[in-house]
Amino acid sequence: MGQLISMKFVFSVMFFVFLGTCILTGQTGVNGVLIGPRRCGIICTREYRPVCGTDGRTYPNLCVLRAKNLCYGTRIRKAYKGKCKFYPSY
């Protein structure tokens, strides 16, 4: 039992070291981009599927909109799919 727990711990440490290295070097494996301040650490893909937020801004995808909410404490929702009709892009 003790050995199983220690193996889980070792695996967890290795995973986070690997993940941290990937984020710092920009090699996420999903062709992603780090969103928000470094302490936030949310990675979104670069997939372009625009959504219009309730703040009137166009976001590249829903992940970027959600990441802004989590990183900056905003409460923006998806108004509709596609670019916003009369407002600038994010």
**Residuewise pLDDT in 10s, the chain (90 residues):** 556 556 666 555 554 444 454 444 444 444 566 666 656 788 889 999 999 999 999 999 999 999 999 988 999 999 999 999 975 555
Number of domains in the chain: 1
Q: Is the pTM of this model over 0.85?
A: no
Q: How far is CA 46 from CA 27, 49, 54, in A?
A: 13, 9, 21
71 located within any domain: yes
- Residue 48 pLDDT: 96
Residue 34's pLDDT is 66
Please tell me the predicted confidence (pLDDT) of residue 36: 63
In a domain, 3, yes or no: no
Residue 81, domain member (yes or no): yes
The answer to whether position 13 is within a domain reads: no
In a domain, 76, yes or no: yes
- Cα four-point dihedral sign 80, 83, 89, 90: positive
Expressed as residue numbers, the domain containing 61 is 50-85
Q: What is the model's pLDDT at position 12?
A: 56
